[in-house]
């Protein structure tokens, strides 16, 4: 059996799609559906059972969870809000929970793949290399990034980095993110705004070296993300802290031009002031160092920004069936 925590979420349900594509459906989905719309991400998917995250944690702590043989655990469940201010909640949900799941998976001899984040890189002053020396010196700008950094540091102290893959996701966009509210990608949110207003808003820049809309991020399509995660599943000797982005920074203006092009609309962008709550916490540049893919022989070909946006916009956001 395979376990996917956060299996009804954005990347988690996309991972279910990739596993199903490989003919795998003996899967336990762990999540917290509550009153959200996440359940819609599961409608097209095949899996054995669903379990609430609290019941899953209780079983793990009982010492006798009763799951049988586990092939792999994709630990993709976490609070992913970069603006979440309840630090105690993030400590328990993102850090302590992750340690418990990790110990369980490794004790079972299962492949363990953990979701880390590019938010750990903070303002980027230490660069974006996933080597250990860089990791030890990082200073995240928000509590979410810090909660992810704490797990990576714990795995290092416990000498576990050779036994697991902790993957730092950069700016992921794509189908099945619709339940995320303000945390949806700008591709998703901009299609709605363009449909209703014919234009889109981007944050103006507070730094002179970046023009308005010229802030740069490493945007990566979710289909590429889960393709790499599946490759890691099949290559259990590739471990440690690993970046997962496209490897190329692009501007927000580039992204919006790709959206307008996919919608066959003229480009109309307005620049609005950076919210006070984000000042000093906003990443102006991210770019994953992805040398490890070639070094490890991973053959995944990433979509360009224009290719990924076109597939997402035309194949899902403007289509009758929006879900993977």
The structural domains of the chain, with segments of one domain joined by +, span 2-171+220-246+290-303, 173-217+249-287+308-317
Strand partners, 167: 115, 242
Q: Which residues contact 92 (CB under 8 A, 6 or more apart)?
A: none
Instruction: Give pLDDT, residue 63.
Output: 84
Instruction: Give pLDDT, residue 212.
Output: 96
Instruction: Give pLDDT, residue 276.
Output: 83
Instruction: Give pLDDT, residue 253.
Output: 98
Strand partners, 306: none
Q: What is the CATH number of domain 173-217+249-287+308-317?
A: 3.90.25.10
Structure tokens at 94: 């993102």
Instruction: Please give the Cα distance from 89 to 95 (Å, whole number).
Output: 9
CATH homologous superfamily for 2-171+220-246+290-303?
Answer: NAD(P)-binding Rossmann-like Domain (3.40.50.720)
Nearest to 52 by CA among 66, 69, 32: 32
Q: Which residues contact 263 (CB under 8 A, 6 or more apart)?
A: 191, 194, 313, 318
Cβ(225)–Cβ(11) below 8 Å: yes
pTM: 0.95
Instruction: Please give the Cα distance from 93 to 183 (Å, whole number).
Output: 18
Backbone angles phi, psi at 220, to 5 degrees: -135, 135
Cite the active site residues: 144, 180
pLDDT tens digit at each of 324 positions of the chain: 999 999 999 999 999 999 999 999 999 999 999 999 999 999 999 999 999 999 999 999 998 898 999 999 999 998 777 777 888 989 888 999 999 999 999 999 999 999 999 999 998 999 999 999 899 999 998 999 999 999 999 999 999 999 999 999 999 999 999 999 999 999 999 999 999 999 999 999 999 999 999 999 999 999 999 999 999 999 999 999 999 999 999 999 999 999 999 999 999 999 999 888 777 778 899 999 999 999 999 999 999 999 999 999 999 999 999 999
Hey, is 270 helix, strand or coil?
strand
Hey, is 48 helix, strand or coil?
coil
Tokens 């899967």 correspond to: 27
Instruction: Please give the Cα distance from 300 to 278 (Å, whole number).
Output: 34
Nearest to 288 by CA among 232, 220, 208: 220
What's the gap between Cα 31 and its chain centre? 15
Instruction: Please give the Cα distance from 16 to 46 (Å, whole number).
Output: 8
Helix (H) or strand (E) holding 52: strand 49-52
Instruction: Give pLDDT, residue 86.
Output: 87
Give the number of other Cβ atoms within 10 Å of residue 238's Cβ.
16
Hey, is 265 helix, strand or coil?
coil
Tokens 């043989």 correspond to: 69
Cβ(77)–Cβ(8) below 8 Å: no
Cβ(223)–Cβ(303) below 8 Å: yes
């Amino acid at each position: 059996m395979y376990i996917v925590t956060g299996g009804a979420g954005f990347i988690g349900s996309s991972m279910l799609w990739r596993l199903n594509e490989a003919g795998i459906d003996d899967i336990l989905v762990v999540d917290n559906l509550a009153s959200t719309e996440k359940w819609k991400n599961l409608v097209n998917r095949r899996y054995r059972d669903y379990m609430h995250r609290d019941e899953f944690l209780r079983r793990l702590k009982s010492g006798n969870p009763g799951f049988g043989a586990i092939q792999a655990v994709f630990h993709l469940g976490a609070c992913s809000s970069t603006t979440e201010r309840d630090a105690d909640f993030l400590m328990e949900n993102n850090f302590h929970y992750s340690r418990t799941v990790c110990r369980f998976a490794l004790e079972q001899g299962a492949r363990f793949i953990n979701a880390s984040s590019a938010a750990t890189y903070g303002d980027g002053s230490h660069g974006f290399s996933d080597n250990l020396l860089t990791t030890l010196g990082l200073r995240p700008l928000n509590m979410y990034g810090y909660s992810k950094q704490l797990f990576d540091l714990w795995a290092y102290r416990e000498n576990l980095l050779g036994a697991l893959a902790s993957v730092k996701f950069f700016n992921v966009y794509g189908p099945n993110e619709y339940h995320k509210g303000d945390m949806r990608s700008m591709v998703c949110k901009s299609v709605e705004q363009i449909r209703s207003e014919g234009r889109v808003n981007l944050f103006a820049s507070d730094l002179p070296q970046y023009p308005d809309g010229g802030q740069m991020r490493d945007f990566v399509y979710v289909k590429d993300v889960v393709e790499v995660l599946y490759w890691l599943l099949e290559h259990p000797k590739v471990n440690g802290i690993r970046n997962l982005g496209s490897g190329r920074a692009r501007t927000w203006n580039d992204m919006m031009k790709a959206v307008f092009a996919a919608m066959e609309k003229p480009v109309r962008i307005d620049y609005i002031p950076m919210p006070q709550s984000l000042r000093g916490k906003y990443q102006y540049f991210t770019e994953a160092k992805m040398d490890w893919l070639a070094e490890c022989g991973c053959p995944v070909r990433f979509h360009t920004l224009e290719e990924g946006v076109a597939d997402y916009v035309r194949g899902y956001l403007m289509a009758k069936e929006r879900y993977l």
